[in-house]
Amino acid sequence: MRFEAPTTVSAAVKLLAAKAGARVLAGGTDLLVQMRTDRAAPDLIVDLKRIPALRTITAKAGTFRIGAAVAGAELGEHKALRKAWPGVVEAANLIGSHQIQSRATLAGNLCNASPAADSVPALLAAGASAVIAGPRGKRTVPVEAVAVGPGKTSLKRGEMVEAILLPKRPARSGDAYLRFIPRSEMDIAVVGVGVNLTLDTKGVCTAARVSLGAVAERVILVPDGAKALIGSTGDTQALARLAAACSAACRPIDDKRGTKEFRIKVAGVLARRAAEIALKRARGN
Ligand SMILES: Cc1cc2nc3c(=O)[nH]c(=O)nc-3n(C[C@H](O)[C@H](O)[C@H](O)COP(=O)(O)OP(=O)(O)OC[C@H]3O[C@@H](n4cnc5c(N)ncnc54)[C@H](O)[C@@H]3O)c2cc1C
């Protein structure tokens, strides 16, 4: 096994493209566990943490560009990002422990393609995009186009995520992420819900995105959940319609941490609670 630590994205892409069994190492908090348990044995590891261009968060005209090697803890320390996208930052800061957060990245959470990844529902709800660098240049795709199934992404040979982009927020917007775990810390989501919405001056919801984690083969958007909110003030009936839409969108597995029925029920309950938090934030409370 070879280890390389390039200092530019183009050098990283060149290395990744040259070897079929190459893997990107960002924080390594998934990859190293997979290697230690014989679930991954890459011929070549390409470390991204020494590429300065991937280590920064750039705020420009209300948008944010989060480099693929920025750790979760750094997101939590970025005041403007926390203010604009509290749901995204909270989701990232739920990942593991302080030790994990000092290494783990948003792009790694996305590319690990776990259906239960915590930051991914928040990113989908936010309408985030991923900048992908590869041998044929760069392309930008919505984050929902990256994971295609458990542990599988749409990235082609030689490609890597270079950055995550968060769009400019209209006024009176709020987002939130909630998950259910059987323990209070350090567990995998049994259900995760991301809600992001915008209100007009009268408090009526004009735009919304709702997403669910851990209830399908990958993190999913719930368009009917968004429809339930749009045009409402977030009243009890709208929240009930949102909960029903989220429960209906679930196609979960049964496992030792939650039955199908439990996940379906919890998805609705958490969606309502996440929407209530997002509404409060959008109203400025
Ligand atoms: C103790 C512990 C607790 C955890 N708790 C949680 C939790 O609560 N919630 C949760 O969601 N996850 C959790 N995780 C999983 C893990 O920490 C996260 O998924 C994390 O975000 C992965 O990021 P990373 O930078 O460490 O990825 P890495 O391990 O470096 O990479 C993960 C995968 O993505 C690929 N990859 C990484 N970056 C890129 C890129 N830029 N372009 C293309 N491919 C890339 C790698 O090749 C690898 O296949 C936990 C892990 C541990 C060990």
Rounded-to-integer distance, Cα 39 and Cα 1, Å = 15
**Residue 168 CB: number of other CB atoms within 10 A?**
11
In this predicted model, what pLDDT tens digit does every residue of 198-226 receive, in sequence order? Answer: 999 999 999 999 999 999 999 999 999 99
Q: Is 26 in the pocket of ligand 1 (CB under 6 A)?
A: yes
Q: Is 71 in the pocket of ligand 1 (CB under 6 A)?
A: no
Q: What is the mean pLDDT of each run of 10 residues along the chain (285 residues)?
A: 97 96 97 96 97 98 97 97 98 95 98 97 98 98 97 97 97 97 85 98 98 97 98 98 98 90 97 98 93
Ligand 1 atom closest to the Cα of residue 155 is: 43
Give which of 94, 110, 108 is closest to 23, Cα–Cα: 108
Rounded-to-integer distance, Cα 228 and Cα 232, Å = 8
Q: Is 29 in the pocket of ligand 1 (CB under 6 A)?
A: yes
The pTM of the full predicted model, rounded to 2 decimals, is 0.97
- Listing from the earlier edge strand, what are the strands of the sheet with 44-47? 2-4, 44-47, 22-25
CA-closest residue to ligand 1 atom 38: 108
